[in-house]
Amino acid sequence: MALNVQHSLLALLLLGTDVLIRIHGQETSVSEAWTNKSCKCDCDGAESPTEFSIMGSGSLMKGVDCMPECPYHRPLGFEAGSVSPDQVTCSNQEQYTSWFSSWLPSKARLNSQGFGCAWLSKFQDNSQWLQIDLKEVMVVSGILSQGRCDADEWVTKYSVQYRTDDKLNWIYYKDQTGNNRVFYGNSDRSSSVQNLLRPPIVARYIRILPLGWHTRIALRLELLICMKKCM
């Protein structure tokens, strides 16, 4: 009698193990199938980094339509100085005279120091913006922001607009609920705050629109450009 009970328990144990193995196998196959469908970019290290190329005549770029986030990033060149002053403009720029002529939008460069180390908005309201012309359509994958280097002035939150051509309307970057995404910025003058764009933006023109600020709208920044290969 005891022997029969032991045999029955052993059979049930083996049956349960077999079921678990089959379930695990099904989960593994589902996971592998999903991985095969997801977009990945390999880092071969042998080639120099290149941006994503445009597909056809539309605004989509290769790999971006199914890419939840960028695999690699590089700075556009605000800090390095490769972004020229004429690429950066702002609202009411024609009024930036006298003292404000030292705080033009082209001064909005990450880690800049000394007098004129940031863009200072002449007006403190939600109608102000800082605009970057990338000169060509690129994949923008992130934004780094700082406040003014020599005073307690910074942007606490902002939204982002973009467009691929100057003849098109501006598009707000949206969150998962379809609302305009609010990016949270700085809480001091020196720390750099990074906001990655998931998914990245395909555009030539980018606008930063301050929504909140401490004392005054003051901004230093860097844009991150998406790369399909590692540095």
Structure tokens that stand for 198 in this block: 């998931």
How would you write 134-178 as a 3-class SS string?
A: EEEEEEEEEEEEECCCCCCCEEEEEEEEEECCCCCCCEECECCCC
Structure tokens that stand for 9 in this block: 């328990």
Q: Would you say residue 78 has pLDDT above 70?
A: yes
Tell me what pLDDT residue 133 has. 98
Backbone torsion region of residue 3, taken as left when φ is above 0, otherwise alpha when ψ lies between -120 and 50, otherwise beta: alpha
Query: Within 10 Å of residue 44's Cβ, how many Cβ atoms?
Result: 8
Terminal Cα distance for the chain, rounded: 71
Work out the average pLDDT over 122-130.
Answer: 97
Tell me what pLDDT residue 223 has. 98
Structure tokens that stand for 76 in this block: 């556009």
CA distances from 223 to 73, 96, 201 (A): 10, 24, 11
Using 50, 70 and 90 to split pLDDT, how confident is the model at 231?
low
For residues 84-106, one letter each, b for 16 or more C-beta atoms within 10 angstroms of the residue's C-beta and e for the rest, the string is: eeebbbbbeeeebeeeeeebbbb
pLDDT in tens, 154-165: 999 999 999 999
Contacts of 158 (CB under 8 A, 6+ apart): 145, 182, 183, 185, 208, 209, 210, 211, 212
Work out the average pLDDT over 173-188.
Answer: 96
CA distance 111 to 109: 6
Q: Would you say residue 185 has pLDDT above 50?
A: yes
Q: Would you say residue 211 has pLDDT above 90?
A: yes
Mean pLDDT of the chain: 79
Whole-model pTM? 0.73
Tell me what pLDDT residue 228 has. 80
CA distance 228 to 226: 7
Work out the average pLDDT over 122-133.
Answer: 97
Tell me what pLDDT residue 50 has. 41
